[in-house]
Amino acid sequence: MSTHNTLYEAIGGEPVVRDLVEKFYPMVQADPLLAPLFPENIKPVIEKQVLFLTQFFGGPPLYSDRFGHPMMRGRHLPFPVTPARAAAWLSCMSRALDETNIPGPLREAVLERLSGPAHHFINSENPS
């Protein structure tokens, strides 16, 4: 029986979430499908993602406390999120997870947890 109540606790909390996000975004910036969707100064995006994933994985509601309800689909509507971009995003996340100290079964749980939203954000069939 696990002593961790949330995925956030199980993976190691804020330091591990931050490590994951800091490994993830350079991959996003290097991806030809994803890079055009993100600003050159990625630091604010990294900080928001740390807050969001902390909350999304069951940690403190840091994102909501600072920015209100996440409404992530709505926040992604201005960007053309295609099936190929969702797959590229998940591929970057998978590779970032592989570079963390998160054990295999937990890496799979994180990727599975993120897979639903990644596909839910698809709002376009054609890249632009």
For 41-95, what is each residue's pLDDT tens digit?
999 999 999 999 999 999 999 999 999 988 887 888 788 999 999 999 999 999 9
Condensed to tens digits (0 to 9), the pLDDT of residues 100-124 reads 999 999 999 999 999 999 999 999 9
Three-state DSSP at 87 gives helix
CA 90 to chain CA centroid, nearest Å: 8
> In the CATH scheme, what architecture does the domain 7-120 have?
Orthogonal Bundle (1.10)
d(CA 30, CA 12): 27
Beta-carbon-side half-sphere exposure of residue 102 (alpha carbons within 13 Å): 30
> Domain ranges in the chain?
7-120
